[in-house]
Structure 1
Amino acid sequence: MGFLDDAVDKAKDLIDDNDEKVDDAIEKGGDLLDDKTGDKYAGQVDKAQDFLQDKTGSGDTH
């Protein structure tokens, strides 16, 4: 296992250990984007939020 593999594994563990915080950050980021664009891309932002939350853990905050 190389240096980058170790770093990726540590990052995955950190995300798994802090799933709720990561999901909250994804949610807040999407909400900020919606505010800045006047909800013009709300559908796409919601899909991206759901996708990211599913990839990082439970995805149950949306």
Structure 2
Amino acid sequence: MSIIKIYSVVGIQSFTLVVFNTQRYFWEFRLVSADGAVFGEQRLYYTPKQQQKPAESVFNLTSN
């Protein structure tokens, strides 16, 4: 069984940013739009702060 730990859930305009930790992929993020579309990348981030810039860039792409 894989254990997932939620680090934060933040509302940004009409999006929800979820930062979480998995045993296999370390820290990840996903942006969820109001209509349920999910955006993100499956890359390795070793701390929750490292994923902040990529999360912001995905948010900028989806909010335009």
TM-score interval, normalised by the smaller of the two chains: 0.3 to 0.5
Q: TM-score scaled to structure 1, two decimals?
A: 0.36
Higher strand proportion (structure 1 or 2) = 2
Higher CA-based Rg: 1
Q: TM-score scaled to structure 2, two decimals?
A: 0.35
